[in-house]
Amino acid sequence: MSIQIDMTCILKDKVREENTALALGSGSLRVYGTPAMMLLVERTAVTLLEGNLEPGMTSVGTSLNMEHVAATPVGMEVSCQVWLAEIDKRKLVFEVEVRDETGLIGKGSHERFIVQANRFQEKADGKRKS
């Protein structure tokens, strides 16, 4: 693996009607929805790891601990930055900040585990047979 502490990645998203709290069912307002922010966090961590894991390996999200501290209206851009803060065998811990054009809107941490992709998928698919 070529992952190491302090690796960082930034992804951006535009607040659109379809990712508002109202559209996602997580509230009644036309502001960036918390589920959209959580998805952006996971996408950013996954992007950071792309090409840095051994062949046949992938990562799965296991924990997402975020505070959504400010609202962002439709039309604004948000950016998510993740830093790889800890590597504990197969467990990866990311620190996260999400900002809009005026400042911090979200902060927290995200954990992912490195798994063998085929074996993990087979185990999950095996649940249907039971």
Q: What is the CATH number of the domain that holds 98?
A: 3.10.129.10
Q: How confident is the model at residue 130 (pLDDT cuts 50, 70, 90)?
A: low
For the question of residue 110 being annotated catalytic, the response is: no
The answer to whether residue 100 sits within a structural domain is yes
CA distances from 111 to 29, 37, 60, 87, 95 (A): 29, 16, 9, 10, 9
Q: Which residues contact 125 (CB under 8 A, 6 or more apart)?
A: none
31, β-bridge pairs = 73
Residue from 20, 44, 68, 110 carrying the catalytic annotation: 68
The answer to whether residue 105 sits within a structural domain is yes
Q: Does residue 50 have a pLDDT over 80?
A: yes
The answer to whether residue 13 sits within a structural domain is yes
Token pair in block for residue 46: 């996954």
For the question of residue 42 being annotated catalytic, the response is: yes
pTM above 0.85, yes or no: yes
Residue from 34, 58, 95, 97 carrying the catalytic annotation: 34
How many domains would you assign to the chain?
1
pLDDT value at residue 129: 77
pLDDT value at residue 1: 59
pLDDT value at residue 65: 98
The predicted-structure confidence for 4-44, as pLDDT tens digits, reads as follows 999 999 999 999 999 999 999 999 999 999 999 999 999 99
The answer to whether residue 16 sits within a structural domain is yes
The answer to whether residue 39 sits within a structural domain is yes
Distance of CA 95 to the CA centre of its chain: 11
By residue range, what is the domain housing residue 103? 8-126
- Burial class of residue 96, CB neighbours in 10 A (0-12, 13-18, 19+): buried
